A = this chain, B = another copy of it.
Amino acid sequence: MKRRLPPRSERALTDLEACVLGVVWRDGPCTAYAVRRELAASSTPRWSDSAGSIYPVLDRLMALGLVAATARSWGERGKKVLAATAAGAARLRAWVPQVAAADVCGPTYDPIRTRFCFLAVLPPARRRRFLADAARSTRETLDRLRGNASRRIRPDDFEALSIHASVCELEGRLRWLGRMRRGLTARRT
Contacts and interface: CB of A to CB of B under 8 A. Distances in A.
Interface of A: 15, 18-19, 22, 25-26, 43-46, 89, 92-93, 95-100, 103-122, 126, 129-130, 133-134, 136-138, 140-141, 145, 155-156, 158-159, 161-162, 164-173, 175-176, 179-180, 183, 187
How many copies of this chain sit in the oligomeric assembly?
A: 2
A51 B140 CA distance: 39
Contact of A168 (B92, B117, B133, B172): B172
Nearest to A19: B114
23 contacts: A18-B118, A22-B121, A25-B121, A43-B106, A44-B108, A44-B113, A89-B121, A93-B121, A97-B133, A99-B112, A100-B137, A104-B111, A107-B141, A107-B166, A112-B165, A116-B165, A117-B159, A161-B180, A165-B176, A167-B176, A168-B172, A169-B172, A169-B173
A150 to B, nearest CB: 15
B166 A113 contact: yes
Closest 3 CB pairs of A and B: A172-B172, A107-B166, A105-B137
A131 to B, nearest CB: 9
Q: Which secondary structure dominates chain A's binding surface?
A: helix
A106 B161 CA distance: 17
A164 to B, nearest CB: 6
Contact of A165 (B137, B155, B173): B173
A176 to B, nearest CB: 4
Contacts of A158: 116-120
